[in-house]
Amino acid sequence: MEVEGQDLDRRNKDAPPQMNKGLRRALIAVNCVLMAIGNAGGPLLLRLYFHSGGKRQWLSGWLETSGWPIIFLPLLVSYLHRRRRFLRGPGHRHQPPTKLFFITRPLFLYCAALGLLLGLDDFLYAYGLSFLPVSTSALLISAQLVFTAFFAFVLVKQKFTPYSINSVVLLTVGAVMLGLHVSSDRPNNVTRGEYYMGFVLTLGAAAVYGLFLPLVELTYTKAKQAITYTLVMEMQMVMGFFATAFCTVGMLVNKDFQAIPREAKHYEQGEFRYYVVLVWCAILWQFLFLGTVGVIFCVNTLLAGVLIAVFIPVTEVFAVIFFKEKFGSEKGVALALSLWGLASYSYGEYREGKLSYSSTSPHLFSLSLW
């Protein structure tokens, strides 16, 4: 019995304690702020890059995940906290050292594959945005719920509900309306063919991300270990690294690294501001990813979806103010349909979540910071 007790202590040494309400609320608030800043600032800065003379699609896709080293900071804080708690515990000299990371080899490989898929999504989104106004791109990206619902049905057996079907119809109609009014907001230096290409590429990015989210959920299910916030950050870091590596290969083939100094010299905002835009673009996109992961972990996917929906009109307003983009009646109707569809989907998820909450496996998710 004593040996079994020692083995149990070793297994539970790194098991995270439950998070108190105050810390949980603070973490939710921080992640909501990060998500809000990244959700509004990331697409706007990326569009500013193209608007002021930038032309490298692989570079712009690379910027969306190249800020992944930022995650080292919260991971270091997590490790130091666990290490301090371990040293203060009784009998620590006779126990194995504190784990440096929690991610297992199979989970690492899953996240690496997801990272490559995310890199493809980054490239498609950036390439599409190079031909589209931010306001149009934001509306098209909201169609990812259509693809998420479909792939969730195929991969994780999530059933269609009247609410999800309603959202699919509304978002599809909104996308069709934008496509039929192609000439109303096409940038001056973009041809009709390029605009349609951007339209298709952005919808492709929405489809890839719609596949990505159910695959992440499937990865959580297959992980066979407690999903803590620390583990989620480790997974995000692995996905960010491989997504960046995917775009780095594209940059090397396209010779983007050699083109950066030349592009900076001819940038309309000036050479110094060119590099400022690149750096802050990478930081803000990482804010978005970190905030989204944190909100999903601390609350649920529903709140993350609601926040994304809330910031669609905010992004629209900023695009009109900073880039003088046109916002005609067709965009207004498409925006209303998109928000209606997102609201319908979110309400359906809320109802389903209330019904299935009690049946969630308690060992799969651990509401703990560490």
For the segment 300-354, what is each residue's pLDDT rounded down to a tens digit?
A: 665 666 677 667 777 777 877 887 767 667 767 777 777 787 777 777 767 766 6
Name the residue with higher pLDDT: 362 or 222: 222
- Cα 95 to the chain's mean position, in Å? 38
CA–CA separation, 164 vs 206, rounded Å?
16
**Given this model, what pLDDT does residue 255 score?**
94
Highest-confidence segment of 128-142, 194-208, 349-363: 194-208
CA–CA separation, 34 vs 325, rounded Å?
26
341 near 166, Cβ under 8 Å? yes
**Lowest pLDDT segment from 92-96, 158-162, 243-247:** 92-96
Name the residue with higher pLDDT: 309 or 152: 152
**Given this model, what pLDDT does residue 248 score?**
97
Q: Which residues pair with 224 in a beta bridge?
A: none
**Given this model, what pLDDT does residue 90 score?**
59
Determine the average pLDDT of the residues in 35-45. Answer: 89
Name the residue with higher pLDDT: 176 or 109: 109
**Given this model, what pLDDT does residue 303 score?**
65
Domain boundaries, the chain: 36-79+101-356
Name the residue with higher pLDDT: 90 or 214: 214
369's enclosing H/E stretch is none
**Given this model, what pLDDT does residue 220 score?**
75
- As given in the structure block, the two tokens for residue 1 are 């019995």
pLDDT digits (tens, 9 = 90+) for 234-273: 999 999 999 999 999 999 999 999 999 999 999 999 999 9
Kindly tell me the burial class for residue 85, based on how many C-beta atoms sit within 10 Å of its own C-beta (0-12, 13-18, 19 or more). Answer: middle
Q: Which residues pair with 227 in a beta bridge?
A: 365
User: Does pLDDT of 173 surpass 70?
Assistant: yes
**Given this model, what pLDDT does residue 8 score?**
42
Residue tagged 């952005």 (tokens): 202
Name the residue with higher pLDDT: 191 or 361: 191
Name the residue with higher pLDDT: 186 or 179: 186
Q: What is the pLDDT of the chain when averaged over all its residues?
A: 79
Residue 227 is given by DSSP the state B
Please provide the distance, in angstroms rounded to a whole number, between the alpha carbons at the two ends of the chain.
Answer: 29
Name the residue with higher pLDDT: 43 or 218: 43
Kindly tell me the burial class for residue 27, based on how many C-beta atoms sit within 10 Å of its own C-beta (0-12, 13-18, 19 or more). Answer: middle
pLDDT digits (tens, 9 = 90+) for 271-297: 999 999 999 999 999 998 888 877 777
* Residues ≥6 apart with Cβ < 8 Å to 186: 192, 195
User: Does pLDDT of 126 surpass 80?
Assistant: yes
pLDDT interval class at 2 (50, 70, 90): very low
Kindly tell me the burial class for residue 159, based on how many C-beta atoms sit within 10 Å of its own C-beta (0-12, 13-18, 19 or more). Answer: exposed
User: Does pLDDT of 231 surpass 70?
Assistant: yes
Name the residue with higher pLDDT: 221 or 367: 221
User: Does pLDDT of 165 surpass 60?
Assistant: yes
pLDDT interval class at 127 (50, 70, 90): very high
Name the residue with higher pLDDT: 51 or 58: 58
Q: 160 in helix, strand or coil?
A: coil
pLDDT interval class at 144 (50, 70, 90): confident
Q: What angle do CA 50, 51, 52 make, to 5 degrees?
A: 90
CA–CA separation, 198 vs 193, rounded Å?
9
286 near 70, Cβ under 8 Å? yes
Name the residue with higher pLDDT: 207 or 146: 207
Task: Write down the H helix ranges in 130-161.
Answer: 134-141, 144-155
Closest CA to 77 of 132, 45, 30, 125: 30
User: Does pLDDT of 365 surpass 70?
Assistant: no
User: Does pLDDT of 12 surpass 50?
Assistant: no
* Residues ≥6 apart with Cβ < 8 Å to 200: 128
